[in-house]
Structure 1
Amino acid sequence: MINFATIAGELLPFRHGNVNQTFKALVATSDGRVPVAAIIKDLPVKELFNELISFLILKDLGLPVPDTYLGLVPAGNRQISKGPLLPDGARLVLASKDVGSPNLKFVTNLSDLSSEAEAKACLSRFVPELAKWGKFGEMYAFDTWVANVDRNLGNVLFGGTKPDGSVDVWVIDHGQALTSEMWQPNDLIPEGSYMNKLQIWAVPFLTDDNKSTCLGSLQLFEIKAHALDKRSKVEYLSKMFGLDDASKNAVTNFLELRLAEVSGQCRTALMVETMI
Structure 2
Amino acid sequence: MERMIEVLHESRLANVFEIVGEGRTASTLLVSVVWDDGKSRRTYFKMFHKSLPLGLLNEITGYLLAKSCGLPLPTHAGIIKVPKGLIENQDDFLPHAFVVSEAPGKTPTTICQLTDPITNQQLNAVMGMLRDWPKLNDTIAFDDWAANTDRNLQNIVVDGPGKIYLIDHSNLPVKPNWSASDLQPHEKYRNILVDILQIVQDGKLPQKRAIAVAATQHSDAYNNIIDELEYWWEQFLSADSSRRKAIDDFLRIRAADGHSRLSSNFYLMAV
Q: Normalising to structure 2: TM-score of the pair?
A: 0.83
In structure 2, what is the Cα distance between the partners aligned to 1:109 and 1:74?
34
Alignment of 1:88-237 (within 5 A): 91-111=95-115, 113-114=116-117, 119-161=119-161, 167-206=162-201, 209-219=206-216, 221-222=217-218, 224-225=220-221, 227-230=223-226, 232-237=227-232
CA contact (8 A) 2:15 2:31 kept: yes
CA contact (8 A) 1:178 1:188 kept: yes
Q: Classify 1:184/1:53 alpha carbon distance in 2 versus 1 (closer, same or farther; 3 Å).
A: same
In structure 2, what is the Cα distance between the partners aligned to 1:247 and 1:233?
17
Give, in angstroms, the shift of residue 251 of structure 1: 0.7
User: Which sections of structure 1, spanning at least 5 residues, go unmatched?
Assistant: 85-90, 162-166
Secondary structure of the 1:259 match is: helix
In structure 1, what is the Cα distance between the partners aligned to 2:242 and 2:150?
25
Q: Classify 1:186/1:275 alpha carbon distance in 2 versus 1 (closer, same or farther; 3 Å).
A: closer
Secondary structure of the 1:142 match is: helix
In structure 2, what is the Cα distance between the partners aligned to 1:46 and 1:202?
30
Q: Tell me which amino acid in the other structure corresponds to 2:164.
A: V
1:62 correspondence with 2:70:
yes
In structure 2, what is the Cα distance between the partners aligned to 1:105 and 1:16?
17
Give the one of 22, 36, 59 matched to 2:41. Answer: 36
In structure 2, what is the Cα distance between the partners aligned to 1:15 and 1:268?
39
CA contact (8 A) 2:219 2:252 kept: no
In structure 2, what is the Cα distance between the partners aligned to 1:210 and 1:128?
15
Q: Classify 1:249/1:153 alpha carbon distance in 2 versus 1 (closer, same or farther; 3 Å).
A: same
Paired residues, number = 257
In structure 2, what is the Cα distance between the partners aligned to 1:36 and 1:94?
15
Q: CA offsets, 1:207-250, max 9 Å, x none?
A: 7554444444333x3353354343x3332112322442221111
Q: Normalising to structure 1: TM-score of the pair?
A: 0.82
The root-mean-square deviation of aligned C-alpha atoms, in Å, is 2.8
In structure 2, what is the Cα distance between the partners aligned to 1:210 and 1:16?
36
Give, in angstroms, the shift of residue 75 of structure 1: 2.3
In structure 1, what is the Cα distance between the partners aligned to 2:148 and 2:81?
26
Q: Tell me which amino acid in the other structure corresponds to 1:110.
A: L
Identical counterparts, % of pairs: 22
In structure 1, what is the Cα distance between the partners aligned to 2:114 and 2:99?
27
User: Which sections of structure 2, spanning at least 5 residues, go unmatched?
Assistant: none
CA contact (8 A) 1:103 1:156 kept: yes
Q: Classify 1:16/1:266 alpha carbon distance in 2 versus 1 (closer, same or farther; 3 Å).
A: farther
CA contact (8 A) 1:103 1:154 kept: yes
Q: Tell me which amino acid in the other structure corresponds to 2:246.
A: A
Give the one of 1, 10, 13 matched to 1:7. Answer: 13
